[in-house]
Chains A and B, each alone.
Chain A
Amino acid sequence: MMSPSYSKNQQAVESFSEQLTIEGRSLWQDAWRRFKQNRAAITSLYILSFIVLAVLFGPYLGAHEFDIADWPNIHTGPNWDNGHYLGTDSLGRDMFVRVLVGGRISIMVGILGALVAVLIGTLYGATSGYIGGNTDRVMMRVLEILASMPFMFLVILLVTFFGRNIFLIFVAIGCVSWLDIARIVRGQTLSLKNKAFIEAAQVSGVSSRHIISRHLVPNVLGIVVVYATLLVPGMILFESFLSFLGLGVQEPMTSWGALLQEGAQTMEVAIWQLLVPAGFMVTTLFCFNYLGDGLRDALDPKQQ
């Protein structure tokens, strides 16, 4: 037999535990837990954070300006005493500061480019896939027309008409890079569209706009995030490619691609001018790729 005080306690405990709201663990939290177990991805994340911090604040720690020529020290190798920690280039400008300032441009192009591509691509693809029918057909044909434009000609034309400008690179890259994401998202949307929870939302009277933003986009975001991380190194490479061809940033501003181009011209006499930007770029690209791999594994529900 239970004593009255015991049952009273029991009741109190029960009513208390019923009031406690249990926090659920979302799929994102699950993914983050899996991501943390991936050493390569976590290491990459640390290195990337370090590089980002370095390009943001590093130039202020340098002993020289990025665009001031130090005439007595042209083509000198790395030297701690005169403040040129990573040497100077053919005009005597400090490589340490230049590579960090160039990194700002490269990483900005990479991240902003990927962001723009993801935003436009996701909305375009989700809309096209969700509405379907003739709208879908027209939207996809437009996409194919854009995809068939010769991209290099577009860039060269833009540069000849408007001069060399970093924003032109954004425009040019932004024009083409969202096409793939739009296709991926549209495919995902088509398979999600027939899931019962979309129908349930329709029955609940939710508008198409909210179905896309609340139900479709969050569910395709996993794949989009992975693709975006893998897109960033592509963007960086692309900017380098344009800069290497001389279509990129305007002197004295620089980027990793422009530094590589200058370094390649003098590699026989001053190898550090090539190795320093190359090292930074390769590390960044590796890290982004490992990060993308890690995210893909973490977001794959079959890996649970």
Chain B
Amino acid sequence: MDNKSLLLDVKNLKVQFSIAKKNAWFWSAPDQLKAVDGVSFQLRQGETLGVVGESGCGKSTLARAIIGLVPVTEGEVVWLGDDLAKLPKQDWHEKRQDLQMIFQDPLGSLNPRMTIGDIIAEPLKTYHPQLSKDDVKEQVQQMMKKVGLLPNLINRYPHEFSGGQCQRIGIARALILKPKLIICDEPVSALDVSIQAQVVNLLKSLQHELNLSLIFIAHDLAVVKHISDHVMVMYLGNMVEMGHADAIYQNPQHPYTKALLSAIPAPDPKAERNKKIDLLAGHLPSPIDPPAGCVFHTRCSLADDECKVNKPSLIGQPTHTAACFKIKQD
């Protein structure tokens, strides 16, 4: 692990949005929505970080903050030694080649008025305008082969493709600049299960071939387990547990992680019938006004007065940490 070079070092990342209050005066301060509230992690070359959590927990905002689609409020996103959040525009444009993204909506992420050849070639034309038309076409067709699309479909339009094929087009577009990191924002949640497996396996094999790092966001825990080296569990903008994928899946520490894992359907009907799911009571609290202390205490069965006052920090071994006061220390 240590011989792999460190690519991305996110330190105490916070993203807040200003939300105008209803019926507010012009001068009254807007509400702050804390979408991501102090997330730190490191990512090395060739590794995959899985990010899980329920809807609205800040997974996508985290991804979009790393890649610069939303401004960072506080903290650092260190990419190979440079803090991306503070880079001047021109340098950021250069660095951006190495970070690409795959989107959740396969068809929606493709411009309906462009041929897929143009779509895949667009990053290439932006960063290498000196390339001749034939060179671009050659590279696009090679990339299409690599992601499992027939190269002769280059002049077709996105609406002529299925969801899985569209996602392959999105992957080809992300790969054409030979990036070092690809952020996958729920790349398979809009696809059928059989297609999901194809796309995930494609990503995995491409990762091996090109030595890519992935940040893989999903709410399907089984998919994350399949592809990830490390897993981060998020709740209401906070990291609640982080560690090696095996450690998290075999030995979850945080009560929230336990509840999530207990909800994975088992493929065996007998096991499924006897399984006990820890249903979480209540709803996700509003990130505009998060609970004091541990953000999870409103829904946690173990919570006591300490949890309502103090915010737990991540504790445990470096390979597996969790933010909870109720974990027995070895």
* Interface, chain A (partner B; CB < 8 A): 17-27, 195-197, 199-207, 210, 214-215, 218-219
Contacts and interface: CB of A to CB of B under 8 A. Distances in A.
B214 to A, nearest CB: 15
B152 A19 contact: yes
A203 B97 contact: no
A218 B109 CA distance: 15
A27 B115 CA distance: 10
Contact of A18 (B108, B151, B157, B170): B151
Given A26-B113, A205-B127, A215-B111, A200 B170 contact: yes
Given A19-B152, A20-B152, A203 B122 contact: no
B96 A21 contact: no
Nearest to A221: B113
Interface in B264-323: none
Contacts of A195: 108
B150 A27 contact: no
Contacts of A26: 113, 115, 157
Contact of B111 (A18, A197, A203): A197
4 nearest CB pairs, A to B: A24-B156, A196-B109, A204-B123, A218-B113
A205 B103 contact: no
Contact of A200 (B99, B116, B173): B173
Contact of B96 (A25, A203, A214, A215): A203
B101 A200 contact: yes
Given A22-B153, A201-B122, A219-B111, 18 more contacts: A22-B152, A22-B155, A26-B157, A199-B101, A199-B103, A200-B110, A200-B170, A201-B111, A203-B96, A203-B101, A204-B122, A204-B126, A205-B123, A205-B127, A206-B122, A214-B111, A215-B111, A219-B112
A211 to B, nearest CB: 10
B271 to A, nearest CB: 38
A197 B156 CA distance: 17
A214 B119 CA distance: 11
Contacts of B177: 204
B145 to A, nearest CB: 10
A24 B157 contact: yes
Contact of B152 (A18, A196, A205, A206): A18
12 contacts: A20-B152, A21-B155, A24-B156, A25-B157, A26-B115, A27-B113, A27-B159, A199-B101, A200-B101, A205-B127, A207-B126, A215-B111
Interface in B84-112: 93, 96-97, 99-101, 103-105, 108-112
Contacts of B122: 201, 204, 206
Counting contact residues on chain B (CB < 8 A from A), the size range is: 35 or more
B215 to A, nearest CB: 13
A203 B69 contact: yes
B135 interface: no
A203 B160 contact: no
B154 interface: yes
A188 to B, nearest CB: 13
Contact of B103 (A196, A206, A214): A196
A23 B109 contact: no
A48 B159 CA distance: 33
Interface in B46-103: 67, 69, 93, 96-97, 99-101, 103
Contacts of A23: 155
Nearest to B101: A203
Contacts of A203: 67, 69, 96, 99-101
Q: Which residue among B69, B109, B111 has the maximum number of chain A CB atoms within 10 Å of its CB?
A: B111
Contacts of B99: 203
A51 B118 CA distance: 40
Contacts of B127: 205
B107 to A, nearest CB: 9
B105 A196 contact: yes
Nearest to A201: B122
A205 B160 contact: no
Given A19-B152, A21-B152, A196 B104 contact: yes
A23 B153 CA distance: 8
A258 to B, nearest CB: 42
A171 B160 CA distance: 44
Contacts of A24: 115-116, 153, 155-157, 160
Residue of B67, B105, B115, B155 contacting most chain A CB atoms (<10 Å)? B155
A165 to B, nearest CB: 40
A72 B99 CA distance: 84
A219 to B, nearest CB: 6
A6 to B, nearest CB: 23
Nearest to B102: A200
Contact of A219 (B104, B113, B155): B113
A196 B166 CA distance: 13
A18 B150 contact: yes
A201 B101 CA distance: 10
Contacts of B103: 196, 199-200
B173 to A, nearest CB: 7
Nearest to A20: B152
Contacts of B154: 21
A214 B121 CA distance: 13
A205 to B, nearest CB: 5
B180 to A, nearest CB: 14
A201 B120 CA distance: 11
Given A196-B105, A197-B111, A219-B113, A205 B93 contact: yes
A200 B110 CA distance: 8
Nearest to B95: A205
A147 B166 CA distance: 44
A199 B151 CA distance: 25
Contacts of B93: 205
A25 B158 CA distance: 10
